Amino acid sequence: MGVVFRGEGFTEKRFNRIFQELSFKGIGLRLPRIKEIVEVEQIENYKKPLLMFLLGDDSILHIEIMNNEIQPDFHSMLIYDMSIVLKYGMQVRTVILNYGSAQNGKKGKCFGSVRYEVQVVDLFEIDGEKVYEELSEKISSGSLFDERDRLNLSFLPFMKHSISFSEALRKVMFLIETIKDEEERLAYMTVITEIASRFIGNNVVDVVEEYLMDTEVGIRIRDEGKKEGMRESIMIILLEKFNLLPDDIYNAIAEQKNENTLMKWLQRVTSICSIDELKKMIFNIE
């Protein structure tokens, strides 16, 4: 892609498992297929984008979600889109997925002489309960998902339901638990809970945590998230000290999965003064 927005961590790997090579034709967006998710760095005082994908033509797809109560932050959206255009010279396409009152078409805002306009797609026009039944039948019969199914399951809580969003979210998580493949279950659970939590914030966190508390998938997500956090902390401290890390050290930290080892490294890393000392610690050299 010519630019690295952020390394692929636990969450990014799960998003890529679901979205790589996916098309958005199923919801009316005729765009190149997705290469991978990208996580841009935080710009101070501006809300981070909900989702950003690198597309097959090396442009960026920026996705936000809105409903009648939660409206998009156009100022932050514009700042991030323009920062990518100016810094990397990449085209940015911005789409809002709406699950409130119908608004299909375009939506925008003027900032002085600048008109910022994005495309709006109404997810609320899609019958979520019908989609739920179709996906449930496929999962029960062991049929493979096609790309429309993958897209539908990822955004199912945001479609039209006769129940509240929280109830629909909980129902979708129960459906995911019936998927037989463990990695597939983990990927969909991560994707849906991340999207819902990023969009709604604390209002949905309780629903997610309540459901995940004692499930096999929930325990693994928490465990992997904790280890990823330790790996990132170690990297931040070391890069502050040394600016650049040798590839063998970087890869060893990134691939370390033992929580006890990561904890020992995190406790010791602040006192490391040289790359030689670091190698001795990482590779257990006496």
Strand order in the sheet with 51-55: 34-37, 51-55, 60-66, 92-98, 114-122, 105-111
Number of domains in the chain: 3
Please check whether residues 146 and 190 belong to one and the same domain. Answer: yes
Residue 173 near residue 210 (C-beta atoms within 8 A): no
14 and 85 together in one domain: yes
Compute the mean pLDDT over every residue in the chain, rounded to the nearest whole number: 84
pLDDT(5) > 60: no
Q: Looking at residue 57, what is its pLDDT?
A: 96
Of 87, 107, 124, which marks where a domain is finished?
124
- In the predicted model, is pLDDT for residue 224 greater than 70? no
Say whether both 94 and 182 belong to one domain: no
Q: What percent of the chain has pLDDT over 90?
A: 42
Q: Return the sign of the alpha-carbon dihedral for residues 158, 159, 162, 167.
A: negative
Question: For a pLDDT cut of 70, what percent of the chain falls above it?
Answer: 86
Would you say residue 173 has pLDDT above 60? yes
Instruction: Kindly indicate the confidence band of residue 2, based on its pLDDT and cuts at 50, 70 and 90.
Output: very low
3-state SS, residue 27: helix
Q: Strand 60-66 vs strand 92-98: parallel, antiparallel, or unpaired? A: parallel
Sole residue written with tokens 């945590």: 209
DSSP assignments along 244-268, one per residue: S--HHHHHHHHH---HHHHHHHHHH
Q: Specify whether 56 is located in the same domain as 169.
A: no
Most confident region among 10-19, 106-115, 125-134, 228-237 by mean pLDDT:
125-134
pLDDT at 32 over 90: yes
pLDDT at 3 (0 to 100): 43
Do 66 and 145 fall within a single domain?
A: no
Instruction: List pLDDT tens digits, range 101-156.
Output: 877 688 888 888 888 999 999 998 899 999 999 999 999 999 989 999 999 999 99
Expressed as residue numbers, the domain containing 100 is 1-124
pTM metric for this prediction: 0.73
Cβ–Cβ contacts within 10 Å for residue 70, how many? 15
| pLDDT at position 200 | 76
pLDDT digits (tens, 9 = 90+) for 183-218: 898 889 889 888 887 887 655 555 565 655 555 555
Largest CA distance in the chain: 66
Residues 102 and 190 in one domain: no
Give yes or no for residue 62 having a pLDDT over 50: yes
200 lies in the same domain as 87:
no
CATH number at residue 98: 3.40.1350
Asked if 272 and 253 count as a contact pair (C-beta separation under 8 A), the reply is no
Same domain, 105 and 183: no
- Higher-pLDDT residue of 77, 216: 77
Identify the pLDDT of residue 210.
Answer: 60
Cβ atoms of 1 and 35 closer than 8 Å: yes
Q: Is the pLDDT of residue 53 over 90?
A: yes
Instruction: Work out the burial of residue 270: count CB atoms within 10 Å of its CB; fewer than 13 is exposed, 13-18 middle, 19 or more buried.
Output: exposed
118 and 138 both lie in a single domain: no
Mean pLDDT of 62-87: 92
Q: Which of 101, 93, 151, 141 is nearest to 122 (CA)?
A: 101
Of these ranges, 84-88, 129-133, 142-146, 164-168, the one predicted with the greatest mean pLDDT is 129-133
Over the stretch 260-281, which tens digit does the pLDDT of each residue have? 888 888 878 877 888 988 888 8
> Rounded distance, CA 135 to CA 154, Å?
11
